[in-house]
Structure 1
Amino acid sequence: MTGPTKKWLLAYAVAAVIFAGIDALWISTVANNQYRSQIGHLLPASFNVLGAVLFYVVYVVGIVHYGIRPNDPKATLRSRVAGAALFGFFTYATWALTAFAILKDFPAVVALTDIAWGAAVCAAVTALTALLLRLGKPQPAE
């Protein structure tokens, strides 16, 4: 396995743990209550575990690719976080605005909250991962 591949996989692993932890906290303290009160009639008794696992596996690839960029020594912390925030904004907006457009009685507040969360969580995961892996700092001249 090459150095860049190892670096990418390490960034993926770190980001996955951070994202899962932050998202679990968000879901248990904010999102679950909001979803139950606003769209409870759309929710099943229990969530689809396979769907949740697949979401996290795939989504973290996007965070690493568009935000963390572990193999881009020229990327600053600011550019990494900005890329991640945009990734989160657009991906969560895709889901939330589609739901708002096609689901009966889907509240705008849920859509807006989800979009803001997507941008914020991706930015936070990227910042924490980059800082832990010491990415985004000026590289010494070769």
Structure 2
Amino acid sequence: MENIKTFLVAFVVFLGIDMLWLTVIAQKFYKSQIGHLMADKARLLPAAIFYLLFIAALAYFVIVPALEHQNLTKLIVSAAIFGLVTYATYDLTNMATLKDWPLLVTVVDLPRGTFISLAVSLVTYLILFVSGIPIQEKGKDQNLAWREYATKTPRFVPFIGSKKC
């Protein structure tokens, strides 16, 4: 159940950041660079599948392990590598296989992928950590230390995670 919470928080954060990037910040850039390759209207099913797979992998490989170990450094390094590698997979494959794929798009997309993975992971980590949401339910004793820590440690935002709410 907690992994689902992690996924949902990451999904909302990713969707917000990515929609801001794609529809406000960089829409004209992509249109000018790869407009000739773009469909008139985005196909929602492949986009939805990408978002679900990407966020599930980001949560599984980056966010959950960092939360389990309460290791922000691990989160930052893993998120940056994950973002760089996943976006490089897309962009470098396009450079290798598409005749008109511009280098500038790849130069913009690789830092973008690194940033968005890092930002989503960090925001999700902080939301879950501050709210005291337990990370996973593997067994009643397995998360005992985390539960004890989460219930006794004051959070950055006083009302979140408090039983007084």
Opposite residue 34 of structure 1, the aligned amino acid is F
- Count of aligned pairs: 134
Alpha-carbon distance in structure 2 between the residues aligned to 1:50 and 1:110: 24
Once the two structures are superposed, residues 27-86 of structure 1 have per-residue CA deviations (whole angstroms, 9 ceiling, x without a partner) of 012332111001111011001110111110111011101221168532411211211111
CA RMSD of aligned residues (A): 2.0
Task: Indicate the residue corresponding to 2:5 in structure 1.
Answer: 10
Q: What does 1:81-92 correspond to in 2, within 5 Å?
A: 81-92=76-87
Please list every run of 5 or more consecutive structure 2 residues that lacks an aligned counterpart in the other structure: 131-144, 150-165
Q: Normalising to structure 1: TM-score of the pair?
A: 0.86
**1:88, 1:122 within 8 Å by CA — same for their partners in 2?**
yes
**2:9, 2:124 within 8 Å by CA — same for their partners in 1?**
yes
Local SS of the residue matching 1:69: helix
Q: 1:44 aligns with which of 39, 42, 52?
A: 39
Once the two structures are superposed, residues 86-133 of structure 1 have per-residue CA deviations (whole angstroms, 9 ceiling, x without a partner) of 111001001001111111121111012111111100000000000000
Opposite residue 36 of structure 2, the aligned amino acid is H
Alpha-carbon distance in structure 1 between the residues aligned to 2:95 and 2:66: 37
Q: Normalising to structure 2: TM-score of the pair?
A: 0.75
Q: What does 1:1-142 correspond to in 2, within 5 Å?
A: 6-69=1-64, 72-134=67-129, 140=149
Alpha-carbon distance in structure 2 between the residues aligned to 1:89 and 1:75: 23
Task: Indicate the residue corresponding to 2:142 in structure 1.
Answer: none
Higher relative contact order (CA 8 A, sep 6+): 1
Q: 124-133 or 21-30, which moves further after superposition?
A: 21-30
Opposite residue 36 of structure 1, the aligned amino acid is K
Local SS of the residue matching 1:134: helix
Alpha-carbon distance in structure 2 between the residues aligned to 1:40 and 1:108: 14
Alpha-carbon distance in structure 1 between the residues aligned to 2:12 and 2:73: 22
Local SS of the residue matching 1:133: helix
Alpha-carbon distance in structure 2 between the residues aligned to 1:129 and 1:63: 11
Q: 1:125 to 1:117 in 2, by over 3 A?
A: same
